[in-house]
C-alpha cells in the first residue's frame, strides 16, 4: 500500500491477507516521501492491524532517503512494526547496515533489541548473484522477496509485462531466478516470496504466474489489489485433497514406526509406500494446510494385520 495514501492505508486493515507492507519506495512519489513517513507512523500506531504482519518498505540504499525512512518509522512505530523491507538489496553489507541501524534505534528508544525483522528484495543482477551471502547476512532476516519489475529492467529483459514470459523465449525465463532465490532462502531457513503482478484486472494471469512459484516451493506472493487476494490464498495453500493425504501419511508413518506398527521404517498407505522422506514431504503440506486453516476430512485407521 502506498504510504502516501490515507485511503489505502485504511483499506489495507480490512483485507484477508497475512501481511501488509506500507510503502515508502516506488509506490510513493518523491515529493511526498517525507510526509508519507509520518502518515505511515500514524497508520501503524492508530490502526487495527491484528492478525497481520506489519511491514514498511523503505527506500533503497542508492537514495538519500533510506536512513530517515528507517529512523522516522522505527522511532515512531517500532513497537508495532514486524519488519522493515529493504528493496534492491545488492550485497550483504546493505542488510548489515540496516541491522545495525535498527539495533541503535531499538537501544535508543527502549525496544527489545533484535525483534524487528528484515525482508530483503532481490531486484537486480547483483542482488541475485549475491543472494546466498545476503540470505545469511543477519539473524533479523526473515524473508527474501523477488522483485520482478525492477529485475526485468535490471537485466534488460525484452518485455514490459511484469512476471509474464518475454515473447520469443521457448521456456520459463524466471526458473533460474526463482530457484536461485529459493535455494538461498531455504539454506538459511527464510521465507521465499514472489513479487507483484501488475495486470491487476487479469486474475487468471495472476494465478498462472503464482502457480509457477508456488509449484517450486515459494511461500506466497504480493497482491496489489483486493481482487488478487483470494487467488493468492488459494494458490499458495494446499488443496483439501493434498492436505488430507499429508495428514494421513503423518498418521500412517507414526503408527508404522511405533510398537503397535512393529517399529517399521516404511509402510504402505493404500498402494503407496511411505518412509521418513514421505513424512518430511507431508509435514510441509500439512503445515501449510494447518496455517491456512484447513480441517481434515479423513482419518487414519490402523490396519488390522501388519
Residues that bind ligand GLV (CB under 6 A): 87, 121, 123, 147-150, 195-196
Residue among 21 and 255 whose Cβ is closer to Mg ion: 21
CB of 165 to Mg ion, least distance (A): 19
Return the axis-axis angle of helices 33-46 and 66-77, rounded to nearest 10°.
Answer: 20
What is the signed CA dihedral for 144, 149, 154, 155, rounded to 10 degrees? Answer: 100
251-254, Cβ contacts within 8 angstroms, sequence gap of 24 or more:
251/299, 251/300, 252/300, 253/278, 253/279, 253/282
- Helix, strand or coil for residue 142? strand
Locate cell 519488519: which residue? 83
57 is in an annotated binding site: yes
CB of 88 to Mg ion, least distance (A): 7
- Dihedral pair phi/psi, residue 300, rounded to 5°: -90, 135
User: Residue 148 binds which one of ligand GLV, Mg ion, none, with CB within 5 to 8 A depending on kind?
Assistant: ligand GLV
Residue among 150 and 247 whose Cβ is closer to ligand GLV: 150
Residue among 222 and 255 whose Cβ is closer to ligand GLV: 222
What is the chain's length? 306
Cα separation, 226 vs 86, in Å, equals: 24
Residue among 23 and 106 whose Cβ is closer to ligand GLV: 23
Q: Which of these, 268, 266, 288, 285, lies nearest to 277 by C-alpha position?
A: 266
DSSP structure class, residue 201: T
CB of 60 to Mg ion, least distance (A): 9
Please enumerate in sequence order all residues whose Cβ is within 8 A of that of 82, keeping only pairs 6 or more positions apart, or say none.
Answer: 19, 53, 54, 55, 116, 117
Residue among 20 and 256 whose Cβ is closer to Mg ion: 20
User: Residue 138 binds which one of ligand GLV, Mg ion, none, with CB within 5 to 8 A depending on kind?
Assistant: none
Which region holds residue 214: left if phi is over 0, alpha if psi is between -120 and 50, else beta?
alpha
CB of 235 to ligand GLV, least distance (A): 18
Please enumerate in sequence order all residues whose Cβ is within 8 A of that of 47, keeping only pairs 6 or more positions apart, or say none.
Answer: 9, 10, 13
Please check whether residue 118 is in contact with residue 126, taking contact to mean a CB–CB distance below 8 angstroms: no
CB of 38 to Mg ion, least distance (A): 23
User: Residue 196 binds which one of ligand GLV, Mg ion, none, with CB within 5 to 8 A depending on kind?
Assistant: ligand GLV
User: Residue 76 binds which one of Mg ion, ligand GLV, none, with CB within 5 to 8 A depending on kind?
Assistant: none
User: Residue 2 binds which one of Mg ion, ligand GLV, none, with CB within 5 to 8 A depending on kind?
Assistant: none
User: Residue 292 binds which one of ligand GLV, Mg ion, none, with CB within 5 to 8 A depending on kind?
Assistant: none
Residue among 21 and 253 whose Cβ is closer to Mg ion: 21
Residue among 88 and 245 whose Cβ is closer to ligand GLV: 88
- Return residues touching Mg ion (CB under 5 A): 123, 147, 150
CB of 25 to ligand GLV, least distance (A): 7
37 is in an annotated binding site: no
CB of 92 to Mg ion, least distance (A): 19
Binding residues: 57, 123, 150
Q: Which residues are annotated as a binding site for Mg(2+)?
A: 123, 150
Amino acid at each position: 500500500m502506498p504510504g502516501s495514501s490515507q485511503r489505502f492505508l485504511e483499506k489495507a486493515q480490512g483485507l484477508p491477507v497475512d501481511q501488509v507492507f506500507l510503502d515508502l519506495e516506488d509506490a510513493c512519489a518523491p515529493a511526498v516521501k517525507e510526509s508519507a513517513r509520518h502518515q505511515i507512523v500514524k497508520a501503524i500506531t492508530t490502526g487495527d492491524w491484528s492478525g497481520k504482519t506489519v511491514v514498511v518498505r523503505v527506500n533503497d540504499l542508492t537514495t538519500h532517503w533510506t536512513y530517515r525512512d528507517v529512523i522516522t518509522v522505527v522511532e515512531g512505530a517500532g513497537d508495532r512494526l514486524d519488519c522493515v523491507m529493504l528493496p534492491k538489496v545488492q550485497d550483504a553489507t546493505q542488510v548489515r547496515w540496516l541491522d545495525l541501524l535498527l539495533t541503535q534505534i531499538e537501544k535508543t528508544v527502549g525496544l527489545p533489541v533484535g525483534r524487528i525483522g528484515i525482508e530483503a528484495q532481490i531486484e537486480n543482477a547483483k542482488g541475485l548473484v549475491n543472494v546466498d551471502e545476503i540470505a545469511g547476512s543477519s539473524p533479523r532476516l526473515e524473508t527474501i522477496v523477488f522483485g520482478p519489475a525492477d529485475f526485468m529492467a535490471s537485466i534488460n529483459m525484452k518485455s514490459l509485462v511484469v512476471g509474464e514470459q518475454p515473447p520469443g523465449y521457448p521456456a520459463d525465463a524466471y526458473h533460474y531466478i526463482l530457484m536461485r532465490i529459493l535455494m538461498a532462502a531455504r539454506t538459511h531457513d527464510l521465507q521465499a516470496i514472489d513479487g507483484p503482478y501488475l495486470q491487476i484486472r487479469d486474475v487468471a494471469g495472476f494465478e498462472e504466474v503464482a502457480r509457477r512459484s508456488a509449484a517450486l516451493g515459494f511461500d506466497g506472493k504480493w497482491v496489489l489489489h483486493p481482487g488478487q487476494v483470494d487467488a493468492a490464498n488459494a494458490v499458495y495453500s494446499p488443496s483439501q485433497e493434498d492436505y488430507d493425504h499429508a495428514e494421513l501419511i503423518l498418521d500412517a508413518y507414526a503408527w508404522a514406526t511405533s510398537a503397535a506398527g512393529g517399529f517399521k521404517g516404511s509402510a504402505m498407505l493404500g498402494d503407496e509406500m511411505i518412509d521418513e522422506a514421505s513424512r518430511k514431504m507431508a509435514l510441509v503440506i500439512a503445515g501449510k494446510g494447518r496455517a491456512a486453516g484447513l480441517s481434515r476430512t479423513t482419518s487414519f485407521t490402523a490396519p488390522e494385520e501388519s
